[in-house]
A and B are shown apart, each in its own frame.
Chain A
Amino acid sequence: MVLRKISGLSGMVLATSLMIGGVAMAAGTAKTQHGGQEPIPPRQSWSFAGPFGRFDPAQLQRGFEVYQKVCSACHSLNLVAFRDLASPDGPDFSEAQVKALAASYKIKDGPNDSGDMFERPGRPADHFPPPFPNKQAAAAAFGTAPPDMSDLAKARTYPRPFPLFIFDAFTQYQEQGPDYIVGIMNGYTHPNDPHYNEYFPGHKIAMPKPLSDGLVKYTDGSPETVKQYSRDVAAFLFWASEPNLDARKKMGFHVMIFLIVFAGLLYFTKKRIWANVEH
């Protein structure tokens, strides 16, 4: 009886792991888009990785600085509103700071009562205005339109060949996007070719090197280097794409504790109920 149970159990474990393995394999390999030849962006350590990961407001504020001073010249951030910057689970700017920041932008509004469009100072509820009126204008200026940055950190990845993607499910590696962005920012390794990038698929990137040391002034004494800028802006972009990450992981912990305790209680109840019957 016991032996039979054990063999049944081991079969179940085997089959379940096969199943999960299969799912994971499929999911992971599906991300393998560019063959295995490309160099892999180095893995960064992030404050927001793992089950207890949280965004670091100071880092997000620096990252926003980089976005505002550099990226926003070409890249839109259409899905993010000024008010989002006040989120305590995000950059945690004060409301006054957000108001002042919003007011420094000109927002196109209208039509007014006389039928004219007009410009007015931004309000916290406004979204970041795009640098170009439309995609065509951006494409005309650069040859190809720079992508919107709202979801960029979730829309970029790099191959995680077998068996790495299996481990990713257990280690909760969800930061391929920011790692890739840091890789790109540090991937301009051929000074003679401004469009060569080590980590871009095919190595030919339309965007010339955007960051250089000392380009953005930090007020908190953090190093003003490309390495630091790239990490900060990647963190900021990951927050922009996943602004509810902190809330999600906090709730996840509570849900997990509840479910595990509940499962334990159910297990002992089940044992008790079945104690008097052969099965």
Chain B
Amino acid sequence: MSGHSTYVPKSGVARWFESRLPIMGLMHSSFITFPNPRNLNYWWTFGGILAFMLLAQIVTGVILAMHYVPNSALAFDSVEHIMRDVNYGWLLRYTHANGASMFFIAVYIHILRGLYYGSYKAPREVLWILGVIIYLLMMATGFMGYVLPWGQMSFWGATVITSLFSAIPVVGNSITTWLWGGFAVGDATLNRFFSLHYLLPFMIAAVVVLHIWALHVPGSNNPTGVEVKSGKDTLPFHPYFTIKDGFALVCFLIFFAWFIFYIPNYLGHADNYIVANPLKTPPHIVPEWYYLPFYAILRSIPSKLGGVCCMFGSILLFAVLPWLDTSKVKSAAYRPLYRAFFWVFVACVIGLGYIGAMPPEGAYVTIGRILTIWYFLHLLVIIPLLGFVETPRELPASIAESVLAPKRSAVGNA
């Protein structure tokens, strides 16, 4: 993916194989000799962490599917059977359930890294859009996965979210009925959600391949946002970035293990340990934490259709971000105004998440609306305007210079 492969097969068999399918050469140039900017910080390790999380979710998920029964009369008990009777079933299920949250934590850090350092700008627009597609697929997968245990929150979450489609004018109700496979969330819904929940991760994996391909054309962005200019700016992927990514991954696993082994139900809802009951609505229906900011946007708009449009729009806007941002400078490290607005935006999204978890009443509604307005203002007005009004700091001539210059001046002062 980066010029010609320097891979030299060592054995006769490897030579024979390589001349017929040069996959080892591809791996070698992509993950061994691939030149990465030498100044990448630890925020750049989350891509590898995400690849690991996808793999972990698929492996645990495939094993769980061997014991799970996608039938509305049996699903809840089959999950309990996994928790109680399957060898290490509790470990698989808690890993998978908390793994979804870890996946989203990692993806949010990964996205914020891209926003902060301007990784979405030319020449990485397609890479960024592929990322938005992965994120949308993740949200769909996570949502359908949460329905499968068929607890109260599974059922009512599915009801609330699928009902959103009824807001579409004229055909809305027909679409909802079509999604449900009936006139309410039921057995048919659970079956198709299981089928799709098994399918989508492999689609994610396919888009991840494209994502990595699109990454390896221009190479990684870096904290200065200055493109690689010469070999002095880079280091080979192995051993420098394999060891760095590996260290970061193991640190992330410590965080992950804390949830699996000590607080496995912290991120879940107690109500989901009650079997789904279509006749009894829980007092307060909340989606999983990773959807809460968007749920808050949905509820902040007084019209149902408007709310649905704003909710989907709030995510889809990210796909056109490369063209909304008018600044030529990538990294927030050299954009003092953008840097401030970036952190305000992060606070705004966390605030929306908090509002999404609160009942939609009183001050929560007002705050939710203010934050929703700010969310769109940031993306649609502030980001385009900043390119015109902001005076960026002076960029280093190259990555190598940015790495070496402070050192040289330190030596000069000594």
User: Which A residues form the contact surface with B (CB < 8 A)?
Assistant: 1, 4, 8, 12, 15-16, 18-19, 21-23, 25-27, 29-35, 51, 79, 84, 147, 150-151, 154-157, 168-169, 172, 174, 176-177, 201, 241, 243-244, 247-249, 251-253, 255-256, 259-260, 262-263, 266-267, 269-270, 273-274, 277-279
Q: Are B239 and A273 in contact (CB under 8 A)?
A: yes
Q: Which residues of A contact B84 (CB under 8 A)?
A: 79, 84, 243-244
By the criterion CB–CB under 8 Å, are B406 and A1 in contact?
yes
Task: State whether A263 touches B269 (Cβ < 8 A).
Answer: no
In the complex, whether B281 has a CB less than 8 A from a CB of chain A is no
Question: What are 21 A-B pairs at a CB distance below 8 A?
Answer: A8-B41, A22-B353, A22-B354, A25-B357, A30-B286, A33-B282, A33-B283, A33-B284, A34-B283, A79-B84, A151-B80, A168-B266, A201-B283, A244-B90, A251-B261, A252-B262, A256-B254, A269-B243, A273-B240, A274-B244, A278-B403
**Contact partner, B357, options A18, A30, A243, Cβ 8 Å:** A30
Query: Min CB distance, B267 to chain A, in Å?
Result: 5
Give chain B residues whose Cβ lies under 8 Å from the Cβ of A151. 80, 273-274
> Is B289 close to A, CB under 8 A?
yes
**Minimum distance in angstroms from B46 CB to a CB of chain A:** 11
Give the contact stretch, choosing among B2-10, B101-109, B139-147. B101-109
CB distance from A205 to the nearest CB of B (A): 15
Cβ–Cβ < 8 Å partners of B358 in chain A? 29, 32
In the complex with contacts A30-B357, A34-B283, A278-B403, A79-B265 CB distance below 8 A = no
User: For window 143-169 of chain B, which residues contact chain A by CB distance below 8 Å?
Assistant: none
Chain A hits for B346, CB < 8 A: 15, 18
Supposing A22-B353, A262-B250 touch, asked if A251 and B243 sit within 8 A by C-beta, the answer is: no
Interface check B319, CB cutoff 8 A: no
Query: Could you tell me the distance between the alpha carbons of A210 and B240 in the complex, rounded to whole angstroms?
Result: 65
Flag whether B235 is at the interface (Cβ < 8 A). yes
Report if B390 contacts A (CB, 8 A).
Answer: no
* Closest CB in chain A relative to B51 CB, distance in Å: 17
Q: Please indicate the chain B residues that have their CB under 8 angstroms from the CB of A23 in the complex.
A: 101, 105, 267, 289
Given contacts A12-B43, A26-B357, A270-B247, contact A155 B260 (CB under 8 A): no
Q: Does B383 contact A (CB under 8 A)?
A: no
Flag if B289 contacts A256 (CB, 8 Å). Answer: no
Q: How many angstroms between the C-alpha atoms of A265 and B105 in the bound complex?
A: 25
Alpha-carbon gap, A199 to B349, bound state (A): 34
Known interface pairs A18-B346, A29-B357; 9 further A-B residue pairs with C-beta atoms within 8 A, sorted by A's residue number = A8-B41, A12-B43, A18-B350, A29-B358, A34-B283, A151-B80, A155-B271, A251-B261, A266-B243
> Closest Cβ of chain B: how far from A36's Cβ, in Å?
11
Contact assessment for B80 and A150 in the assembled complex, using a CB-CB cutoff below 8 Å? yes
- 1/0 contact string of B341-373 vs chain A (CB within 8 Å): 000001101100110111100000000000000
What residue in chain B is nearest A245 (Cβ atoms)? Answer: B90
**Cross-interface CB contact of A256 among B108, B261, B283, B284, cutoff 8 Å:** B261
CA distance A109 to B312 in the complex (A): 53
Residues of A within 8 A of B282 (CB): 33
* A1-B406, A248-B261, A278-B407 known; A157+B283 contact, CB < 8 A: no
Please give the distance in Å from B2's CB to the nearest CB on chain A.
19
Decide if B251 is an interface residue (CB 8 Å cutoff). yes
C-alpha gap A21/B283 in the complex (Å): 25
Whether A26 contacts B356 by the Cβ 8 Å rule is yes
Q: Does B253 contact A (CB under 8 A)?
A: yes
Q: Are A26 and B354 in contact (CB under 8 A)?
A: yes
CA distance A252 to B94 in the complex (A): 12
Query: Most B CB atoms within 10 A — which of A1, A23, A30?
Result: A30
Across the interface, which residues of B come within 8 angstroms of A155, CB to CB?
270-271, 273-274
- Residues in A with CB closer than 8 Å to B273 are 151, 154-155, 241
Chain B residues with CB under 8 A of A177: 270
**B403 near A51: Cβ-Cβ < 8 Å:** no
A159, chain B: closest CB distance, angstroms: 10
Residues of B near A201 (CB, < 8 A) are 283
With both beta carbons as reference points, the residue of chain B lying nearest to A8 in the complex is identified as B41
In angstroms, Cα B248 to Cα A238, docked, is 36
Minimum-distance CB pairs A-B, first 7:
A252-B261, A26-B289, A155-B273, A29-B357, A22-B350, A266-B247, A157-B270
Closest chain B CB from A248 CB (angstroms): 6
Q: Which B232-277 residues have C-beta < 8 A from chain A? A: 235, 239-240, 243-244, 246-247, 250-251, 253-254, 257-258, 260-267, 269-271, 273-274
B354 touches A25 (CB 8 A): yes
Cβ–Cβ < 8 Å partners of A256 in chain B: 254, 257-258, 261
Cα A256 to Cα B258 with chains together (Å):
8
For residue A87, give the distance in angstroms from its CB to the closest CB of chain B: 10
Chain B residue, CB-CB nearest to A34: B283
Q: Does residue B42 face the partner (Cβ distance < 8 Å to A)?
A: yes
Residue contact B112 to A15, C-beta cutoff 8 Å: yes
Which B residues are in CB contact (< 8 Å) with A4?
406
Contacts of B283 in A (CB 8 A): 33-34, 201
Q: How far is the CA of A265 from the CA of B257 in the complex (A)?
A: 18
Q: Which of the listed residues A21, A22, A29 has the most CB atoms from chain B within 10 Å of its own CB?
A: A22
The chain A residue sitting closest to B254, CB to CB, is A259
Is there an interface contact between A244 and B83, defined as CB atoms closer than 8 Å?
A: yes
B410 in the interface (beta carbon within 8 A): yes
